[in-house]
Amino acid sequence: MSTDRQLFDYLLRLADNDLVMAQRLGEWVGHGPVLEEDIALTNVGLDLLGQARLWFAYAGEVEARFAAAGRSEDALAFSRDGGEFRNLLLVEQPNGGYADTMARQFYFDVWHQLLLVKLKHSRDARIAEIAAKAEKEVVYHAERSADWIIRLGDGTAESHARMQTAIDDLWMYTGEMFDPDETETVLAEEGIGCDVRTLAPAWREAVGNVLSEATLTVPGGTWMQRGGKNGIHTEHLGHMLATMQWMQRTYPGAEW
Amino acid sequence: MISIVDLGIVRDVEWQDDEPVITVTPTYCGCPATEVIMADIGRALTEAGFARHRVEIRLAPAWTTDWITAGARARLAEFGIAPPGAGSVATARVIDTSALHRRIVRAPVRCPRCGSAHTRELSRFGSTPCKAQYRCEHCLEPFDYFKPH
DSSP A173-241: GSGGGG---HHHHHHHHTTSS--GGGGHHHHHHHHHHHHHHTT-PPP--------GGGT---HHHHHHH
Residues A172/A224, Cβ–Cβ less than 8 Å: yes
Within 8 A of A137 by CB-CB distance, chain B residues are 28-29, 129
Distance in angstroms (rounded) separating the CA atoms of residues A194 and A14: 11
B23 closest CA partner among B69, B68, B59, B50 = B59
Residues A144/B101, Cβ–Cβ less than 8 Å: no
Query: One-letter amino acid identity for A78?
Result: F
Q: Sign (positive/negative) of CA torsion A223, A94, A35, A33? A: negative
Neighbours of B64 (CB within 10 A): 19
Does position B95 have pLDDT exceeding 50, yes or no?
Answer: no
Q: Is A151 helix (H, G, I), strand (E, B) or coil?
A: helix
Q: pLDDT-derived band of residue B1, with 50, 70 and 90 as boundaries?
A: confident
CA distance B82 to chain A (A): 18
What per-residue confidence (pLDDT) applies to A253?
85
Best residue of B9, B125, B147 to probe chain A, by most A CBs closer than 10 Å: B125
Kindly determine whether residue B123 and residue A53, on different chains, have CB atoms separated by under 8 Å. no
Kindly determine whether residue B61 and residue A40, on different chains, have CB atoms separated by under 8 Å. no
Does position B91 have pLDDT exceeding 50, yes or no?
Answer: no
Give tens-digit pLDDT for A78-131: 999 999 999 999 999 999 999 999 999 999 999 999 999 999 999 999 999 999
Query: Is the entire prediction scored with pTM above 0.90?
Result: yes
Within 8 A of A47 by CB-CB distance, chain B residues are 28-30, 129
Nearest to A51 among B29, B61, B127 (CB): B29
pLDDT in tens, chain A (256 residues): 889 999 999 999 999 999 999 999 999 999 999 999 999 999 999 999 999 999 999 999 999 999 999 999 999 999 999 999 999 999 999 999 999 999 999 999 999 999 999 999 999 999 999 999 999 999 999 989 999 999 999 999 999 999 999 999 999 999 999 999 999 999 999 999 999 999 999 999 999 999 999 999 999 999 999 999 999 999 999 999 999 999 999 999 888 7
Nearest to B29 among A40, A133, A212 (CB): A133
